[in-house]
A and B are shown apart, each in its own frame.
Chain A
Amino acid sequence: MRLMELKQKHLLGIEHLSADEIEYILQTAESLEEISKRDIKKVPTLRGKTIVTLFLEPSTRTKTSFELAAKRLSADTLSISKDASSFKKGESLKDAAKTLQAYRVDAIILRHSASGAAEFLSKQTDASVINAGDGCHEHPTQALLDAYTIKKKFGKINGLKIAIVGDILHSRVARSNIFCLTKMGAELSVVAPPTLLPVDVEKLPVKVAFGIEEVLEESDVIYLLRLQAERASENHFPSIREYRRLFGLDADKVKKLKPEAIVMHPGPINRGVEISSTVADLARSYIEEQVTSGLAVRMAVLYLLVGGSS
């Protein structure tokens, strides 16, 4: 059965979405992508709606992408970041929710360092809450844009072999992607040092490998995670050099990939750590496509959650 309506008020994570719902979001994004190719890159769909980006953790890409998506749909946008707001004075998320509630905003896009922050916020407000990354928990729109990019390249996700390489333990991108891609039928591997794998990794529907060499030949997609200095201390592995040797992708290793295989990365990339500069600039590196997809997918999410009332 084809889904005709997304029965969700918020987008807090991928875990509770069905494969049909994910498919419906991707399909909507496909129709919206064309708008960004026009001379007039704007449609009047969300005229009169107010969308707030509340980013309490640094981010350029995700914030820019959401703001542009909202503007392309003609919504009014308001952006609040940690340094420039009363959060510096210690205002709580709850109080911020109350203030925004008084303005009757239609959606709040939240980035927060605490896992579960988006869910908490969704209980404090009538607005739709979109999780733009909460701690080590989820980053749903990243997973959706990755799925969109993969589907656009291969025409399907089902049956593809996808390896996620890097800090699986602290990565909300990895978590959301594991949920999303397995729901869509991909065969997933996670590649990481044992110290950067979740303790209950065997409960996840994924294969585990301890070096990137193990997955190079079989994979359709190599998904490299950023080595997150702010989350993982160097105690998790001996040295950057060793990490690069075992988990980084460089010009030599890339030669072992299938001709059609692509390389993805959520950005920002650490050139010379998880990905060498040469590899980042190859045609098979889909990092720029991911950014383009991100805009279309976020427009779709805003359209589906903020447009229409049911």
Chain B
Amino acid sequence: MSKPVSVLLDKDQLKRALTRIAHEILEHNRGAADVVIVGIQSRGYFLAKRLSENIAGIESAKTPVGALDISLYRDDISTNPQPVLKKTEIDFDLTGKNIVLVDDVLYTGRTIRAAMDALMDLGRPASIQLAVLVDRGHRQLPIRPDYIGKNIPTAIKQRVSVELAEEAGTDQVTLVEADGT
């Protein structure tokens, strides 16, 4: 049986981290003009929507939010069973925009590589920035995040579990030990 060992972020800490990231996005881009937020399905999309709301609360600017499914761009598609497809819903033009790509956990970087390829097929953005709730290390590709909720050094055997109110009913990030350890 797996068991949670420690809570990494509770509801309030998660909320504060997202508020800080919203400020950082505005600071880095000198406002919200030409900024669009794209979340990777499913939890990255929930976080993207929250970041957009936070930005609206700070600068009363509306940043468009899109959902990106990266299954079709995965590099393990011929070695694993096909992933269940979710929808990509980006109903605005990406060309010339500063995209903030959002995911819950940054690990090997392969998902982000796939996401960048997917975004490039949809338009020619001015830039792509990366926001993650948790960076757990162990990168296998030269990818680094621009905005980080929390840095958490982990062992490969461990698992970072992100629960968000939108699907789990509660906000919480925990570190789970692998089975049998």
Contacts and interface: CB of A to CB of B under 8 A. Distances in A.
Given A307-B78, A309-B79, A44 B84 contact: no
B151 to A, nearest CB: 32
B142 interface: no
Given A31-B87, A34-B87, A34-B88, A42 B121 contact: yes
A308 B72 CA distance: 11
B141 interface: no
A308 B81 contact: yes
A48 interface: yes
Contact of A307 (B77, B121, B123): B77
Nearest to B121: A40
Contact of A43 (B73, B78, B81, B82): B73
Interface string B59-91: 000000000010111000111111111111100
B87 A44 contact: no
Given A43-B73, A44-B72, A44-B117, A31 B85 contact: yes
Contacts of A40: 121-122
A310 B123 CA distance: 34
B87 to A, nearest CB: 5
A28 B82 CA distance: 11
Instruction: Say whether chain B's binding surface is mostly helix, strand, loop, or mixed.
Output: loop
Nearest to A305: B82
Given A38-B122, A40-B121, A43-B73, A32 B85 contact: yes
Interface in A25-53: 27-28, 30-32, 34-35, 38-40, 42-45, 48-49
A10 to B, nearest CB: 15
Q: Chain B interface residue count: which class?
A: 20 to 34
Contacts of A43: 72-73, 118, 121
A202 interface: no
A284 to B, nearest CB: 27
Nearest to A303: B82
A5 B81 CA distance: 7
A45 B81 contact: no
Contact of B78 (A30, A48, A73): A48
A45 B80 contact: no
Interface in B26-85: 69, 71-73, 77-85
B118 to A, nearest CB: 8
Nearest to A4: B84
A157 interface: no
Contacts of B69: 31
Interface string B133-146: 00000000000000
Interface of B: 69, 71-73, 77-89, 117-118, 121-123
Interface of A: 4-6, 27-28, 30-32, 34-35, 38-40, 42-45, 48-49, 73, 303-304, 307-310
Given A31-B87, A43-B72, 9 more contacts: A30-B87, A34-B87, A34-B89, A40-B121, A44-B72, A45-B72, A307-B77, A309-B79, A309-B80
